[in-house]
A and B are shown apart, each in its own frame.
Chain A
């Protein structure tokens, strides 16, 4: 499984979104399903899938699917999205 697909799967499960709706246009709070409750669920699932522990500021800054890729790569430069 590519990192891109792993990431899409996590978003899809955590935000309860069909996988084809997970793309670079997906933004925090722009979609009603990605609210603050779902955000913490998403963070927990990203951390377990990619085995990272995000900093507080990165949790606040992770405001889009696109941003999530950039942030995760900061923790693990081997990831390719």
Chain B
């Protein structure tokens, strides 16, 4: 695949036919690459999906497979980094094998997508977490990895919480004072922002006058499902404590780092040009119609060092449309409703250690 060309594609501008004329052949080429280079992938295809690739179909692997097998399409010597979905020991973690090229591509694509939402300039950045979450270099959690990845888009990184998860009011006030009348970036995990930022500020009856901010959050509610609030309530409560803040949720996973799905102004998650989703029926995994909830399948052109290009997730979602979102972006747009009931509570970014 010619990544130099692929990387220059506009993120949200190609309509279905144009996108598919590039995406579908590229995904098939990628599947054949993994068939050739990964013994495990070849064994799975040969035994479960024989002749699929010859017919031009790319079957999705269950994302869970990455928790039990180290699937790779490179040699031991080429391994540059293995990323995991979580730092907890109590649950199985996904292991994703990266070579240099794949790791670099993930970062470039993430940067290209995020620039669509943040602009190309780095912004003063408030991180809704405590600084020790990234301190221990050798064992930091998925939360640390997420914060690390996003740090790239900011400067003057300021942590809003203390280690005991209480709010560091001095740091937060100083940050807002120092960057008055500037556009700022705020990042954190959904349940942490809710529980430790919004709620603490509400209890203290404090709100900050911000001139212009973009808040990105991700990760969902994890083990705090019982405390989950709707996206609408999250936004309205957040705007109660911070004025003039645009809020964008984004959906993504360690198994396909880079291709994130960011929530638009209308409240829907959008597929970037390098990845696509489909919704599968729970009963027989055939494709579900738009508007009806099913299991989310994610296809991405990024994974070259491990066969993670087509994955059946354990998340439930609804496809809402394609090319016709009111925000003007092309491509599929959807929403995520939660986790498959049978799935274990997933250990991604949910560790409070």
Q: Is the CB of B155 within 8 A of A44?
A: yes
Stretch from A2-10, A17-25, A53-61, A71-79 at the B interface? A53-61
In the complex, which residues of chain A have a beta carbon less than 8 angstroms from the beta carbon of B104? 60
A interface vs B, CB < 8 Å?
29, 35-38, 40, 44, 47, 53-57, 59-60
Q: Is the CB of B152 within 8 A of A60?
A: yes
A53 to B81, CA, bound (A): 29
Which size bracket describes the interface of B in this complex? Answer: 20 to 34
Interface string of B90-130 (1 = CB under 8 A from A): 00000000001000100110010001000010100000000
Q: Is the CB of B148 within 8 A of A36?
A: yes
- Closest chain A residue, CB of each to CB of B100: A29
Minimal beta-carbon separation of A44 from chain B (angstroms): 7
In the complex, which residues of chain B have a beta carbon less than 8 angstroms from the beta carbon of A47? 155
Q: Is the CB of A40 within 8 A of B111?
A: no
Task: For A56, give its contact among B80, B81, B111, B140 (CB under 8 Å).
Answer: B111
A38 to B157, CA, bound (A): 14
14 contacts between A and B (CB under 8 A): A29-B80, A29-B81, A29-B100, A36-B148, A40-B148, A40-B152, A44-B155, A47-B155, A53-B155, A55-B120, A56-B152, A56-B153, A57-B108, A60-B152
Minimal beta-carbon separation of B255 from chain A (angstroms): 19
In the complex, which residues of chain B have a beta carbon less than 8 angstroms from the beta carbon of A35? 137
Minimal beta-carbon separation of A42 from chain B (angstroms): 12
- Closest chain A residue, CB of each to CB of B107: A60
In the complex, which residues of chain A have a beta carbon less than 8 angstroms from the beta carbon of B80? 29
A35 to B100, CA, bound (A): 13
- A40/B81 contact (C-beta < 8 A), A56-B111, A60-B108 known: no
Total of A-B residue pairs, C-beta within 8 Å: 37
Q: Is the CB of B157 within 8 A of A40?
A: yes
10 nearest A-B pairs in the assembled complex, by CB-CB distance:
A40-B151, A56-B111, A36-B148, A60-B107, A37-B137, A59-B152, A37-B134, A56-B152, A35-B137, A60-B111
Q: Is the CB of A37 within 8 A of B152?
A: no
In the complex, which residues of chain A have a beta carbon less than 8 angstroms from the beta carbon of B152? 40, 56, 59-60
In the complex, which residues of chain B have a beta carbon less than 8 angstroms from the beta carbon of A36? 148-149
Minimal beta-carbon separation of A2 from chain B (angstroms): 26
A54 to B149, CA, bound (A): 16
Minimal beta-carbon separation of B268 from chain A (angstroms): 25
A35 to B115, CA, bound (A): 23
Minimal beta-carbon separation of A76 from chain B (angstroms): 17
- Having A37-B148, A56-B120, A60-B104, one finds 13 other A-B pairs with CB under 8 Å, namely A29-B100, A35-B137, A36-B148, A37-B137, A37-B140, A38-B137, A40-B151, A44-B155, A47-B155, A53-B155, A55-B122, A56-B122, A60-B152
List residues 44-97 of chain B with CB under 8 A from any CB of chain A: 80-81
In the complex, which residues of chain A have a beta carbon less than 8 angstroms from the beta carbon of B140? 37
- Closest chain B residue, CB of each to CB of A38: B137
In the complex, which residues of chain A have a beta carbon less than 8 angstroms from the beta carbon of B137? 35, 37-38
A44 to B148, CA, bound (A): 14
In the complex, which residues of chain A have a beta carbon less than 8 angstroms from the beta carbon of B111? 56-57, 60
List residues 148-165 of chain B with CB under 8 A from any CB of chain A: 148-149, 151-153, 155, 157
A44 to B149, CA, bound (A): 15
- Closest chain A residue, CB of each to CB of B81: A29
In the complex, which residues of chain A have a beta carbon less than 8 angstroms from the beta carbon of B120? 55-56
In the complex, which residues of chain A have a beta carbon less than 8 angstroms from the beta carbon of B100? 29
A37 to B137, CA, bound (A): 7
